[in-house]
Amino acid sequence: MRDAGVEDARLAALIRRGEHLAAYDLAYRRIERDGVSPAIAHAAVLCLARSGATDFARLEYARWRLGGDPDDAEAATLGARLLKDVALASSGARRRAFARASALRYAASDARHGGLYSAINVATMSLIAGDRDRARQAAEKVLSSTVVEGDATESYYALASRAEAQVLLGAPEAAAETLAQAIARSPQDYTAHASTLGQIDIILQELGAPNTWLAPLRPPRVAHFTGRIFNLPESRDQPTDPSARRTEALAAEMQGVLRTNRVGFAYGGLAAGADILWAEALVACGAELHVVLPTSVGSFVANSVAPFGQGWVRRFEACLACAQSVRLATKDPYAGDDQVFTYSSQFAIGCAILRAEALATEAVQLAVSGGDAQSNVAADLAYWAAAPRRQVILTLDRAPLRVAPRAQTAHPPTVMKAMLFVDVRGFGSLRDDQIPAFFGVVMAQIAQAVATLARKPEHIETWGDGVFLVFDQPADAAEAALAILAAHRRLNLRARGLPRWLALRIGGHYGPVHLLMNPILGNQAVVGSHVVVAARIEPNVAPGSVYVSEAFAGALATFHADRFRCGYVGRTKARRDFEPLSIFNVVRRECPDMRSCAR
């Protein structure tokens, strides 16, 4: 017999941590086992909405009849929120129409139940709908409300709502003061701060007003750190090059850079030299350290740490113990393919930019360079600058190290590819007499969507209801995924003799793969462990959605934040032979103003 109280607590904890997929799975299992209860159904739909599966969330909201009880305040505001999500993901007349519908739902909830949440959303959605008079009236109502002292969270949201209303009424100075008070009530709740800043950015965008005044109120910056490898003497008697004396000064300079730039989170490697110095400085300054390594830990130490002195190994181990998280670009040992080092650096850069977007703050790159145009550091700098974003570059004049070359492999090098797996939920439940219609309608629609792409896939495989597509660039794969999804949504399945609950699930990953000859079919095959990663994501996708790996989402955030928005939805289900990995939903970004999206 399961304890419902324990399950309720676990569900609430998962939602607080942002593990929307795991929370949805738990809620859905409860509904299947115990039947529909308003509280659990509400949690399930909320998790779907937060995971970007807006269409599916709206279907489940209707199927579970959550809007049927006018006395259920939470269900009423959830319905309004779903309409708001559609509005914010749309443009033009569709955006205004859904904003108007959302404002009406929030207004009805406000009239019946009251509360600042509904009132401030009436104001914001009325503004987006083009009804500025109603927006001002609703904002004035928020300001006329008394802020009731409660716990830190309640006080924060009450003051944040007032700040949003002040922005809407054209009083940014007052809003800045109010928002500062709100942040002081809950200073470490960066997720809440980011949500408020995002709402204010939306209002400012609609008003055509600047948002530079928000900069001091944003959470600490997120950094990507990189730097040159160098060695240190093993003993006082060992001769060193003169620049070794700069190491202590460099470490102090790094701490100054971190404090001046208000860095609170950072992602990078841990090679001997500047990487480890950055990591030590981050820990000393109280910032979160997130380590990204190209290979297994032991292999990385053997190739990028130990050859430069055992002192670096001890410092590496100390830094690793202080890391908030450790990511491996690949779990295999180094096998002679330097592509893994490039991939790891780009992965770390993407992680930093994704975190900055999630926190509504700025991303900055911190580097120690020696001016070598052919170095890995130079490649990191060029990759970052292509966006462009802020960089802080320290210099270290030191002769390049002559180290033994890494062992080479006889295998051809891997290449970076973006991969999609497309699957149709419900295919296995079709009757046999429905299969011809399925291929003539659903699969034909996918084929047509692929055929009309501006940048077509380099490789296609298909079996049953599954499709495997390979692209050179993540942006091309993302465009394809969203085009396929949109094409499927246009189908009238019921009119073609198919159940309307047939829905696409699309999973994607970006990583190094092998391009080899398939000896059975005699054509090219795209294979490797990263193909397996892409395949393992797809079963975790909410119907009607596109979910991708952190590496894929990071590449989109780095260069295409004006076109796509990626939000964390949780982790894949644990399997015995496959550790859970973070996944992100991908949606098209309709707003033309990128001030709230990429800084």
Residue 591 has what pLDDT?
A: 56
Which parts of 51-151 fold into alpha helices (H)? Answer: 54-63, 73-88, 92-113, 116-129, 132-144
Over residues 138-182, the pLDDT tens digits come to 999 999 987 666 778 889 999 999 999 999 999 999 999 999 999
Mean pLDDT computed over every residue of the chain: 91
Q: Which of 304, 307, 336, 341 is nearest to 320 (CA)?
A: 304
Name the maximum alpha-carbon separation found in the chain.
Answer: 85
Q: So what's the pLDDT on residue 244? A: 55
Is pLDDT of 412 > 80? Answer: no
The CATH architecture of the domain made up of 415-588 is 2-Layer Sandwich (3.30)
Residue 401 confidence (pLDDT) above 70 = no
* pLDDT for the residue numbered 400: 46
Q: How confident is the model at residue 290 (pLDDT cuts 50, 70, 90)?
A: very high
Share of the chain above pLDDT 90, in %: 80
Q: Are 120 and 164 in contact (CB under 8 A)?
A: yes
State residue 242's pLDDT score.
Answer: 44
Q: Can you read off the two tokens belonging to residue 141?
A: 């109502």
Instruction: Find the mean pLDDT for residues 390-414.
Output: 68
The rounded distance, in Å, linking the Cα atoms of 73 and 351 is: 37
- What does the alpha-carbon distance between residue 464 and residue 169 come to, in Å, rounded to a whole number? 56
In percent, how much of the chain has pLDDT > 70?
A: 92
Instruction: Give the homologous superfamily in CATH for domain 4-217.
Output: Tetratricopeptide repeat domain (1.25.40.10)
More confident residue, 497 or 372: 497
Please say if the pLDDT value at position 247 is more than 90: no
Q: What residue spans of 285-338 are helical by DSSP H?
A: 297-304, 310-322
Distance CA 197, CA 220 (A): 13
Token pair, residue 366, equals 């911190």
Specify the amino acid at residue 277. L
Mean pLDDT for the stretch of residues 318-346 = 94
> What pLDDT does residue 434 have?
97
Both structure tokens of 47: 């998790």
Above 50 in pLDDT, residue 556? yes
Q: What is the pLDDT of residue 374?
A: 58
> Is the separation of the CB atoms in 343 and 511 below 8 Å?
yes
- The string of pLDDT tens digits covering residues 116-141 is 999 999 999 999 999 999 999 999 99
Architecture of the CATH domain 221-232+245-395 = 3-Layer(aba) Sandwich (3.40)
The pLDDT assigned to 592 comes to: 46
Res 595 pLDDT > 60: no
Q: How far is CA 276 from the centre of its chain?
A: 26
List pLDDT tens digits, range 340-387: 999 999 999 999 999 999 999 999 999 999 777 658 899 999 999 998
* Torsion over CA: 471, 476, 482, 483 (sign): negative
Distance CA(132)–CA(367), nearest Å, equals 47
Bridge partner list, 509? 419
* Helical (H) or strand (E) element with 362: none
Taking the domains of the chain in order of start, what are their residue ranges?
4-217, 221-232+245-395, 415-588
Q: Would you call the peptide bond into 388 cis, given omega within 30 degrees of 0 as the criterion?
A: yes
Cβ atoms within 10 A of the Cβ of 145, count? Answer: 16
For the cut 50, the answer to whether the pLDDT of residue 237 exceeds it is: no
DSSP string, 360-419: T--EEEEEEE---TTSHHHHHHHHHHTS--EEEEEE---PPP--PPPPP-SSPPPEEEEE
